[in-house]
Structure 1
Amino acid sequence: MDPATWRAVPYMLVSLAFGVGWFAVLAVAVPFSVALVILWVGIPLVLLTMFAWRGAAMLERRVLWAALGVRIADPYRTRPERGIGAHVGWLFKDPATWKDLGYLLLLFPLSLVEFVVSALSWVGTITLITAPFWHAQGEALLFGDVLAVDSWPGAVLSTILGFCMLAVTAYAVRGMAWLHGTLAVVLLSGSEEERLRASRARGIDAAEAERRRIERDLHDGAQQRLLSVAVDLGRAQAKLDHAPEEARLLIAQAHSGTKAAIAELRDLARGIHPAILSDRGLDAALSGLAARAPVHVDVAVELGTIDERPPPAVESIAYFIVAEALANMAKHAAATEASVRVTRENRQVLVDVWDNGIGGALVSAGGGLSGLADRAATIDGMLILHSPVGGPTLVRAELPCEW
């Protein structure tokens, strides 16, 4: 039997508690906080309630991925940087906020039906399969006016019928899981337009941040060195006639500064797009990153022949995701080994970076992992982080592309 079925079984049986709990909370909290708006105290209560149901929807998306294999990214619009009014407007104007509420309210009747059907099906199936056991205990099984098991032939027949019922129950559970997942995708994911808008916004922000980084590196590094070189050459020119030895020292100093500036410009260019990536592809570029890592890193790139290389934008994003993930590992993970695996799956490039460190990594605003997620979003990709406290950590990027 498909393992996905067994993952769906406990979800069908326990989701009723989640549905009942949130229906009860929202049925009380929403009208109560709205009624108190006229006294102003209701405004923070309304906002708190909205944040609460958004948090519950976020949790449900994670549970759906673990239980039903339905992956739904959080569809919320980008949070404004400052201003209470801007935050309130962002919360109320985001369609995902109200779709979350609709899902949580529908979860109660939906989970009730799923629980009843699942419970009755499994109880009936298990009872039929274990009929010989009950007959051996001297107990007759009665199924209404349809079936009475009071003999060994009847018990054996019930067991056979129970195994047939097991297949029917399994398909029923998978069918309910599919319907539940479909409803969740409709209500808990953003529309295609919203998703593309958010992806474009994150891509623009990531490009702007990269531009500022390059500008800062040029200003603080190579530009200052070249300015120093110009000053040294100017001083050398002034001393060339009456103090040639000092002029020679200044020229040597300028020469040294020029070489340092060239090295900085080369490093900056490598940070924008490493030459080895263009010339030899991901395998060689990632092997170079692994060689510079402080721990042993296994690298496996399985993308087919060189003629089947991904588009340059996909290769570049995959490279920098691995580079940032390995840098984070070196700084924070206390790992002793790691691995990088890049594979092709249909029309996607999958990038997995694993380490056996202490875990606990988070995607926080302004952090390195957040920047990686923004990079992936520029081509409608997705970054997935699994890093429980104590480890291990897995960073996975799913990058869609066309060959």
Structure 2
Amino acid sequence: MTERQYPHPVAAIAYLLGGFPLSLFTFITTVVFMCVGVGTVVVWVGVPLLVAAAALTRMFGNMHRFWVRTLTGADLPQEQVLDNPDAPMLRQWRAMLTDRRTWRDFAYLMLEFPLSIIGFALAVVSVPLVPLALWVVPRYAWLHSQLAVAMLGPDRTADLTAKAERLQASRARGVDAAEAERRRIERDLHDGAQQRLVAVAMGLGRAKGKLDADPELARALINEAHADAKLAVAELRDLARGIYPAVLGDRGLDAALSSLAAKCPVPVEVTVTVEPRPPAAVESTAYFIVGECLTNIAKHAQAEYAAVRVWRETRAMGDEVVVEITDNGAGGANLRPGGGLAGLADRAATIDGVMTVVSPLGGPTVIRADLPCVW
């Protein structure tokens, strides 16, 4: 709700009238549990009471979020009471008592109660006074909802901290992925094209020494060196294509992925709708994710068909390119550390992308990558 979108007077009166009993109940319950918990903490009985107060605070915070969202349309998503239900109980307790969100909710409950008394009085008084109902009450209800948005809404500091940590981790994974790629290119050069070029140089050197004494042998050595040179050129071309395929740079994702699908022994249906054309880093990441997945499908999936869908989605933080590869194979794929799919996830992380794998035994397998166009 923006600054001038005040709620309807009837909705504002209902909001303030209904909010008072909710505030009264949540305020009294929270204060009782908190005071008793603090007073008995020296004999350890207060610890579970404080934990209960923290849990109730989060639950009551969600109740207020629902109430504000229902009647004013404010953007207040529900928060989890337990962030990690599978963790040991003591760890859950500690996390709840030290979480900023718990204490933000508690501060809101304490501050909102006296304000709800004022709002309730305004709503009751405004019923016979039409100007008050039409002008004052909607504005007070709007201010009340903005307080809820500020205190019960997402914790921007915590969100930014979490995002910074996630970006730091993704950059570290990206550096590792780039280093692994560098080693692969170095290995391919050393074992492939470099050996071929050494053979070419040695063959030409032998041919040079035999030109006068044995022209036929020199000709054969030159022909052999020529064949090795062509093989070296082919290997260098394949290596360059592995770094960034020419068709991707020239014609975009649709043509590049169609080319990959045509080489796959499993029938693949390709659908690409990403206009306008995404950044080169996004295209490259999408291309290699699809290429590796199609290779895995051909080798391991025992699939009869596969589908590749790539489309653009508009999100609040900017556009994303979504890559989805599906097959009807045996399933069982997973993001195990050191595996090929984990390497693809690391590659996606270099541009702040996220990859997920759903592959139950018996199939089908769905691999999805969400790649932001801005990072």
Provide the C-alpha distance between the structure 1 equivalents of 2:93 and 2:307, rounded to a whole number of angstroms.
Answer: 39
C-alpha distance in 2 between matches for 1:264 and 1:289: 18
Partner of 2:201: 230
Q: Spell out, residue by residue over 1:360-392, the C-alpha distance to the aligned partner (whole angstroms, 9 max, x if none).
A: 001111111011000100010000100011100
Instruction: Tell me, in whole angstroms, the C-alpha distance in 1 between the residues paired with 2:93 and 2:333.
Output: 30
Q: Could you say what secondary structure the match of 1:285 adopts? A: helix
Alignment of 1:376 with 2:333, yes or no, is no
Q: Structure 1: how far apart are the matches of 2:177 and 2:350? A: 8
Residue 101 of structure 1 pairs with residue 69 of structure 2? no
Of residues 351, 363, 366 in structure 1, which corresponds to 2:335?
A: 363
CA distance in 2, matches of 1:190, 1:296: 45
1:208 matched residue in structure 2: 179
How far apart are 1:314 and its partner, in Å?
A: 0.4
Residue 386 of structure 1 aligns with an amino acid whose one-letter code is V
CA distance in 1, matches of 2:204, 2:78: 66
For 2:351 and 2:93, the matched residues in 1 are separated by 29
Q: Whole-Å Cα distance in 2 between the matches of residues 215 and 287 of structure 1?
A: 29
2:265 — aligned with what?
294
Specify the SS of the correspondent of 1:236.
Answer: helix
Match of 1:345 in 2: 313
Q: How far apart, in 2, do the equivalents of 1:338 and 1:324 lie?
A: 13
Cα distance, 1:263 vs. partner?
A: 0.3
Residue type at the aligned position of 1:206: A
Match of 1:398 among 358, 370, 375: 370
Aligned with 1:310: secondary structure? coil
The RMSD of aligned alpha carbons is 3.1
Tell me if structure 2 keeps the 8 A contact 1:360–1:389.
yes
Identify the residue that residue 318 of structure 1 maps to in structure 2. 286
Distance 2:324 2:78 in 1: 19
1:12 paired residue number: none
Corresponding letter in the other structure for 1:236: A
Letter aligned with residue 194 of structure 2:
Q
In structure 2, do the counterparts of structure 1 residues 104 and 398 end up closer, same or farther at CA, with 3 Å as the change threshold? farther
Alpha carbons 1:285, 1:319 under 8 Å: kept: yes
Matches of residues 74-89 of structure 1 in structure 2 within 5 Å? none
| C-alpha separation in 2, matches of 1:378 and 1:273 | 16
Aligned AA for 2:334?
Answer: L
| Contact persistence 1:310–1:402 (CA under 8 A) | no
Check if 1:277 corresponds to 2:277.
no
Shift of 1:106: 4.1
1:241, distance to aligned residue in structure 2 (A):
0.4
Output aligned runs, 1:76-155, within 5 Å: 101-102=91-92, 106=96
Which residue of the partner structure matches residue 224 of structure 2?
253
User: Which residue is 1:125 aligned to?
Assistant: none
Instruction: Indicate how the Cα distance of structure 1 residues 362 and 182 shifts in structure 2: closer, same or farther if over 3 A, else same.
Output: farther
> 1:268 is aligned with what amino acid?
L
Counterparts of 1:357 and 1:342 in 2: how far apart (Å)?
20
1:342–1:349 contact (8 Å) kept in structure 2? yes
The answer to whether the 8 Å contact 1:359/1:387 transfers is yes
Q: What TM-score do you get using the length of structure 2 for normalisation? A: 0.58
Aligned to 2:124: none
Distance in 1 (alpha carbons) for counterparts of 2:354 and 2:91: 25
Unaligned runs of 5+ in 2: 1-76, 98-151
Q: Match for residue 328 of structure 1?
A: 296
Number of equivalent positions: 235
Give the C-alpha shift of residue 230 in structure 1: 0.5
Task: Name the CA shift for 1:104/1:289 in 2 (closer, same or farther; >3 Å).
Answer: farther
Q: TM-score, normalised by structure 1?
A: 0.54
2-structure distance, mates of 1:223, 1:69? 60
Structure 2 CA distance for partners of 1:364 and 1:260, relative to 1, 3 Å: same
Displaced runs of 4+ in structure 1, greater than 2 A? 100-107
CA contact (8 A) 1:341 1:351 kept: yes
1:225–1:258 contact (8 Å) kept in structure 2: yes
Correspondent of 2:361 among 389, 395, 399: 389
Q: State the Cα distance separating 1:191 from its structure 2 match.
A: 1.5
Distance apart, 1:101 and its partner CA: 3.1
Task: Encode CA deviations 1:157-190: one digit per residue, 9 max, x unaligned.
Answer: xxxxxxxxxxxxxxxxxxxxxx9x979x969x97
Q: CA deviation at 1:288?
A: 0.3
Aligned-partner Cα distance in 2 for 1:191–1:106: 17
